[in-house]
Amino acid sequence: MDDAKSFGRARLSFAREADVDKFVAMLGQFEKGEIGPDEWRAFRLVQGAYGQRQEGDLSMLRIKIPQGILTAAQLRAVAGSARQYSRGFGHITTRQCIQLHFLKLHEVEHVMRICADAGITTREACGNSVRNITCCPWAGVSKEEPFDVTPYAEALTRFLLRHPLSGTLPRKFKIAFEGCNHDHAYTSIHDLGFTARVQDGKRGFRLTVGGGTAILCTDGSVLYDFLPVERICEVAEAVVRIFHERGDRKRRQAARLKFLVRSMGWEAFKAEFHRVLAESKAPLELDPPVEGAPTWRRLDAPSLDVLAAKVRAGKLKGPGIAPVLDPKLEVDPTVLARWRRSNVTPQKQAGFSSVLVTVPLGDLSSEQMEALADLSAAHGDGSVRVTVDQNVLFRWVPDDQVDALYRGLSAAGLHLPDAQTPADVTSCPGAESCKLAVTQSRGLGRTIGEFMRSRTDLVDLAKDLVIKMSGCPNGCGQHHIAGIGFQGSVRKLGTRAVPQYFVMVGGGSDAKGAHFGRIAAKIPARRVTAALERLIGLYDRERQLNEPAMAFFRRVELPKVKALLADLEALTEADAKDDDFIDLGETHAFNPETSAGECAA
């Protein structure tokens, strides 16, 4: 589909106006007392509306971005919604969604309609449903892939979206697609993980089942070494059906698919799967075209002065950590060279590059989103992909326009280098808005990001090191599969509470599967940067020749790491400072309060 609105990259809408109408009707019934709070909560969650920890009429709305693909028009729709109804910025999640926080419940409808008009939906973004199906952002342009997995991920998205079973599951259900040797999509920790394979000239997938993190870290088990592409829908439906029928609906903490697989046993699960599969008839007929270079006329690049002025004028409001808006019109050649090394990747198509935009904490102001829309139409293909590492990817950038794109990004305050390095951390929303979170993980994320950017020597020592953090054990920040991961917790010191983090080392996900971090220490939040400096120093001293940091932390002896960090764990009332009792990113005394989360309401 090639038209002026889509710049040749259109997809059919994922939205239905009837979903929004139903939301409004159910809200009316709830307010009249015709349905109870439990029924209302279960319904609104499946529609993407999530209660925040703050008292009062406040919601988070999660917008599904299937495969992470956003057109320029969709970026503008989200930007306008964030400006009018949220805090003036949106947050990219680790499932390639965009969240808007601090919305009033009666304004949720308006954002839903704006998104629907742009072809995106909030349906089944939260709750006990098949969540957004994620995909490698480099799919279609990667030199590693055997074929582009994007059309197959989209086909499964459409098959399961509004499926009779998809919104009535025992708990959430997550699916990911990957084509590269490097597991950008972290398929191994998903309920269904599809990795591209070619066998005897035919396309297919290696399929793993029952992966996950949180309280039972599990590497997905191989159900198929090679599953022909035409069978992905019927196989996925069979697994979803088993989960729907046999998943635990009474014990919330044991309701994920991984628990069902464990309780049944792998052989019994496979036998049940094949029985159910025999009753499923959903062959996929798909002959996707190969994505090619843009052939339409790109729009003129926006004025750098206008971009910078617009971003500076953006109004950010509401509580919590907001993005730092720092437009730059002067380009430092040294920074540009560093950015080129870390953020630019040649595509398999000669003459084009993919460009990562580093987005600290995954936060983009409304004006920055609109700037990305303008820049994508001028230098890319009129679309972007948000990544599970909370960044934004431009594709199909002509090699001779990479520097021009950088100047535009700089004018929008999105000029930071060191994407996919230890300076580019991943964090969940944490105690800023989540009911389950213990600590303000975003405060830790900002602290680590700023520290590492001030210490480029450490970044350069361990360029491949992945750092992630979560405010609780559930792991929305995916800290279990980080080279160094941080999990929020609390300790008591007399009558006062100290925010602290479990330090975990050695996690990761690759073509061989997932490996999960080992707990090495429990450190007060204010000492985390000291721990990081020591850990990278240990790697520098004891690594083998050409050994990557991720491999080192996977093999290093845990007692050695514990001894290295032991003195940072110790904290007494006598040596505690006032700051130790204040969480990172906050100004008031740490007072951890959690309540029943809505992840599986």
Output the pLDDT for position 598: 64
Asked if residue 221 and residue 113 are part of one domain, the reply reads no
Asked if residue 162 and residue 106 are part of one domain, the reply reads no
Please give the C-alpha separations between residue 224 and each of 163, 193, 260, 409, 587, in angstroms, as whole numbers.
24, 11, 19, 43, 52
Number of domains making up the chain: 4
DSSP bridge partners of 14: none
Output the pLDDT for position 594: 64
The pair of structure tokens assigned to 232 is 């992905």
Please say whether the beta carbons of 451 and 594 come within 8 A: no
Q: What whole-number percentage of the chain has pLDDT above 90?
A: 88
Taking residues 359-370, report their average pLDDT: 98
Output the pLDDT for position 528: 97
Calculate the CA dihedral of residues 264, 266, 272, 276 and round it to 10 degrees.
120
How far is residue 408's CA from residue 530's CA, in Å, rounded to a whole number?
36
How far is residue 554's CA from residue 516's CA, in Å, rounded to a whole number?
9
The residue assigned the tokens 């997550």 is 174
Please say whether the beta carbons of 235 and 207 come within 8 A: yes
Question: Looking at 91, 117, 143, which one is the last position of a domain?
Answer: 117
Which helix (H) or strand (E) element contains residue 564?
Answer: helix 558-569
Asked if residue 375 and residue 347 are part of one domain, the reply reads yes
pLDDT digits (tens, 9 = 90+) for 180-216: 999 999 999 999 999 999 999 999 999 999 999 988 9
216: in domain: yes
298: in domain: no
pLDDT beyond 80 at 354: yes
10: in domain: no
Output the pLDDT for position 4: 47
CATH assignment of the domain containing 339:
3.90.480.20
Could you tell me the end-to-end alpha-carbon distance of the chain, in angstroms, rounded to an integer? 40
Output the pLDDT for position 595: 59
Asked if residue 550 and residue 445 are part of one domain, the reply reads yes
Question: Looking at 411, 437, 459, which one is the last position of a domain?
Answer: 411
Instruction: Place 592 in a pLDDT band, splitting at 50, 70 and 90.
Output: confident
Asked if residue 442 and residue 564 are part of one domain, the reply reads yes
pLDDT digits (tens, 9 = 90+) for 524-537: 999 999 999 999 99
Sequential DSSP letters for 371-428:
HHHHHHHHHSSSEEEE-TTS-EEEEEEEGGGHHHHHHHHHHTT-----TTSTTS-EE-
588: in domain: no
Find, among 579, 422, 392, the residue nearest to 486 by Cα: 422
Taking residues 245-252, report their average pLDDT: 92
2: in domain: no
pLDDT digits (tens, 9 = 90+) for 312-338: 999 999 889 999 999 999 999 999 999
Asked if residue 390 and residue 524 are part of one domain, the reply reads no
The pairing of strands 134-135 and 97-103 is: unpaired
Q: Give me the amino acid identity at 232.
A: I
Asked if residue 182 and residue 321 are part of one domain, the reply reads no
Which helix (H) or strand (E) element contains residue 152?
Answer: helix 150-160
pLDDT digits (tens, 9 = 90+) for 35-91: 999 999 999 999 999 988 877 788 999 999 999 999 999 999 999 999 999 999 999
pLDDT beyond 60 at 235: yes
Find, among 198, 124, 190, the residue nearest to 157 by Cα: 124
With vertex at residue 193, the alpha carbon angle to CA 517 and CA 266, rounded to the nearest 5 degrees, is: 80
Asked if residue 248 and residue 201 are part of one domain, the reply reads yes
Taking residues 231-241, report their average pLDDT: 97
CB atoms within 10 A of CB 370: 24
Please say whether the beta carbons of 488 and 427 come within 8 A: no
352: in domain: yes
Mean confidence (pLDDT) of the chain: 95
Asked if residue 574 and residue 440 are part of one domain, the reply reads yes
Q: Give me the amino acid identity at 480.
A: H
Output the pLDDT for position 453: 97
pLDDT beyond 80 at 309: yes
How far is residue 505's CA from residue 467's CA, in Å, rounded to a whole number?
10
Please give the C-alpha separations between residue 349 and each of 142, 182, 294, 299, 345, in angstroms, as whole numbers.
9, 19, 12, 22, 11
Asked if residue 564 and residue 438 are part of one domain, the reply reads yes
Burial of 416 from C-beta contacts in 10 A (0-12 / 13-18 / 19+) = buried
Asked if residue 443 and residue 384 are part of one domain, the reply reads no
How far is residue 496's CA from residue 449's CA, in Å, rounded to a whole number?
28
Which helix (H) or strand (E) element contains residue 17?
Answer: helix 17-31
Please say whether the beta carbons of 425 and 449 come within 8 A: yes
Radius of gyration for the alpha carbons in the chain, expressed in angstroms and rounded: 23
Find, among 321, 405, 316, 416, the residue nearest to 367 by Cα: 316
Domain limits at 379? 304-411
Output the pLDDT for position 596: 57
Sequential DSSP letters for 209-236:
ES-B-TTS-BPPEEEEEEEEGGGHHHHH
Sequential DSSP letters for 34-103:
SS-HHHHHHHHHHTTEEE-SSSSS-EEEEEE-GGGEEEHHHHHHHHHHHHHHSSSEEEE-TTSEEEEEEE
DSSP 442: H
CB atoms within 10 A of CB 18: 10
Question: Looking at 84, 117, 150, which one is the last position of a domain?
Answer: 117
549: in domain: yes
Asked if residue 433 and residue 401 are part of one domain, the reply reads no
CATH assignment of the domain containing 470:
3.30.413.10
List of residues 6+ apart from 109 with CB closer than 8 A: 20, 23, 24, 27
Taking residues 418-438, report their average pLDDT: 93
Instruction: Place 119 in a pLDDT band, splitting at 50, 70 and 90.
Output: very high
CATH assignment of the domain containing 87:
3.90.480.10
463: in domain: yes
